[in-house]
């Protein structure tokens, strides 16, 4: 793991079948990749052994690891990734960075994923820091914006959550992030 610059163990989710399978899943940023891992706790529950990598192909960087994970009501593992501090990754369908992914606990892709050849559920994310998985199947992802524009997206299959946005009113540099279909951070 890379426990520096916002990295390390980024998320933990207990298998919905824990009593039977004793699996815990973690999302760890490591050099050169970030990975969702299937972990096996010791009998005393004080340590873990890495059983396997649930999914490969997620980049790591000094920032924007994402790493929130959770199980939805149908038993699939949802994984929020960051753009690995490369905003273009969020818009690149060939990259798993800047995405919300969905896999079965065994690492396979559910048939009802928008493209059954990839775990990609939604794209255009800057740095997914929260996932809320409702019992009705509604999934929401929260992520920090660039200095502002923090947002929450209601995820739909195939959603592109972000859009190109200037880093500041006077900047010509473009960033990708959760800045279109979002609810801006504001006091209630």
d(CA 38, CA 27): 9
pLDDT digits (tens, 9 = 90+) for 63-102: 777 889 999 989 999 999 988 888 888 889 899 999 999 9
Q: Is the pLDDT of residue 185 over 70?
A: no
CB 89 within 8 A of CB 69: no
What percent of the chain has pLDDT above 70?
A: 80
Q: 158, 157, 155: which is closest to 181 by C-alpha?
A: 155
Do 176 and 98 contact (CB within 8 A), yes or no? yes
DSSP-H helix ranges across 60-166: none
pLDDT tens sequence across 115-146: 989 999 999 988 898 999 888 889 999 888 76
pLDDT band of 4, cuts 50, 70, 90: low
Cα-to-chain-centroid distance, residue 35: 10
Local confidence band at 162 (pLDDT 50, 70, 90 cut-offs): low
User: Which of 112, 125, 113, 115 minimizes the C-alpha distance to 68?
Assistant: 125
What pLDDT does 143 receive?
A: 85
Residue 174 has pLDDT above 90, yes or no: no
Task: Return the domain boundaries, the chain.
Answer: 9-175
Tell me the per-residue pLDDT of 42-67, one tens digit each, with 9 for 90 and over. 999 899 999 988 888 887 777 777 88
The CATH superfamily assigned to 9-175 is TolB, C-terminal domain (2.120.10.30)
Residue 180 has a pLDDT of 39
| pLDDT tops 50 at residue 166 | no
- Across 165-173, average pLDDT: 43
Residue with token string 């914006």: 145
pLDDT for 77 equals 96
Q: What is the DSSP string of 70-87?
A: EE-TTSPEEEEEB-TT-G
Mean pLDDT over residues 33-47, rounded?
Answer: 89
Separation of alpha carbons 102 and 115, rounded Å: 11
13: its two tokens: 């989710």
99 contacts 150 by C-beta, under 8 angstroms: no
pLDDT at 188: 36
Q: Assign residue 41 a region: left if phi > 0, alpha if psi is -120 to 50, beta otherwise?
A: beta
Query: Helix, strand, coil: what percent of the chain each, to 5?
Result: 5, 40, 55
Q: Record the pTM.
A: 0.81
Which pLDDT does position 167 carry in this prediction?
44
């Amino acid at each position: 793991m890379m426990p520096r610059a916002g990295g390390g163990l980024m998320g933990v989710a207990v298998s919905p079948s824990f009593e039977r399978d004793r699996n815990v899943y973690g999302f760890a940023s490591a050099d050169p990749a970030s990975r969702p891992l299937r972990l096996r706790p010791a009998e005393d529950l004080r340590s873990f052994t890495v059983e396997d990598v649930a999914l490969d192909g997620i980049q790591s960087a000094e920032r924007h690891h994402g790493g929130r994970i959770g199980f939805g009501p149908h038993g699939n593992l949802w994984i929020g990734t960051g753009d690995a501090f490369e905003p273009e990754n969020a818009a690149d369908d060939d990259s798993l960075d800047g995405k919300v992914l969905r896999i079965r606990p065994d690492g396979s892709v559910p048939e009802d994923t928008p493209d059954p050849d990839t775990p990609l559920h939604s794209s255009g994310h800057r740095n997914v820091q929260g996932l809320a998985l409702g019992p009705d199947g509604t999934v929401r992802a929260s992520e920090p914006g660039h200095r502002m524009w923090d947002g929450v997206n209601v995820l739909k299959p195939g959603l592109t959550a972000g859009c190109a946005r200037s880093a500041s009113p006077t900047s010509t540099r473009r960033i990708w992030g959760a800045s279109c279909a979002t609810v801006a951070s504001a006091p209630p």
